Amino acid sequence: FPALDILGLKCPDDVAVAGLSDRREFFNSPVPITSLTYSAAELGAEAVRIFSRQEFTPGEKVYNSKLIERESS
């Protein structure tokens, strides 16, 4: 992580790093990155339902996800 190097910080000793959607780069990086995976299809379908309505009602929605812990956290 070049920005951390500039600041003299180390991952995960000084800073924890996590990402979304478990990209290949996350486990191939010098410090494998913890990530949260989710169903893009489920999230996309919900977005379509929300935007197809005339009126949006704020609220909380829980999606299935999985935390993949790696060395970055």
| Tokens read off for 44 | 């996309």
Over residues 8-21, the pLDDT tens digits come to: 999 999 999 999 88
Q: What is the pLDDT of residue 10?
A: 94
Measured in Å, how far apart are the chain's first and last C-alpha atoms? 14
pTM score: 0.70
Cβ neighbours of 24 (radius 10 Å): 7
Over residues 24-67, the pLDDT tens digits come to: 888 788 899 999 998 889 889 888 888 888 777 788 778 889 99
As a residue count, the chain comes to 73
* Top-confidence residue, 5 or 55: 5
Q: What is the pLDDT of residue 26?
A: 83
